Amino acid sequence: MKNIIQKDSMKTRKSIRTYTGEKISAIDKEKIINYLNNDENLVGINGNKIKIQFIEIGENISGSIGTYGIIKNAPAFLIVTSKNSRDIMLDCGYVFERFLLYLEQNGLGTCWLGGTFNRKKLNKDIKLSSGEIIPIISPVGYSSKKSSLSNKMIRTFAKSDSRINFDELFFNENFNHNIKDPDIREALEMLRLAPSASNKQPWRVLIDANGDAHFFIKRAPNYSGEKLGYDIQWLDIGISIAHYEIAFGCREFIVNASKIDNVPDSLEYVITAKK
């Protein structure tokens, strides 16, 4: 059985870039290892099993992981390795976000890193199978109460504390009507809080008359993240789906866009969550 993720963790989690440097306690390390040893925690909605390595600095890796000064004093890192396809990237986002939320509810800080770590160096330390890449990593540790100046600057530059207006992200029955139901709006707010690369929030969700949720991707034009060699915005969709599942409860996910009319040209259908 998957570990239960508490809804409040979606409200409280923030990207932590400055850590105390304290080693992760034996109790917390056991929680991490037990989570990663449960295969059900590592399988995405497309059925792909995502590999996540827990690595303590100075013990299982040569030197520190280069993060260009963005991450300070992290005692350990989580390294995701996978094949490179859209379906797998979606599952990476889904699986890894659920894990980071689990760590949040257990008092451990994390931070999604997609483009701000030294891939060439890390590729030499991590054994990759044929066709595998390292799409994402995260530091993990105890948050420093005193945030560094660089962390404050990064949050400001990345607009980490701002989000797209709710009614630009979520729609009722068609793309011209807003969602009025307060309970649905409250649950969907958990998706609006979801992290995404450069805070682009590429997901759009249409709730139909049956209560099914249709997920779409809206590409950010001229987005620099496209140069990473994998589809990082597809990974963002996986993050939003993780938040949806936690907010609304377990759902069945299917691919069926046949009954959706008048979809704007700027949107690409991804998947449907059945009520």
> Would you state the pLDDT for residue 160?
46
Tens digits of residue pLDDT in 232-244: 999 999 999 999 9
> Would you state the pLDDT for residue 153?
52
> Would you state the pLDDT for residue 223?
76
Q: At what angle do helices 232-248 and 182-192 cross, to 10 degrees?
A: 140
Tens digits of residue pLDDT in 193-206: 999 998 999 999 99
Q: Is 107 left (phi over 0), alpha (psi -120 to 50) or beta?
A: left
| d(C-alpha 171, C-alpha 163), whole Å | 16
For the chain, domains (ranges, CATH) are 8-153 (3.40.109.10), 166-274 (3.40.109.10)
The pLDDT mean for the chain works out to 89
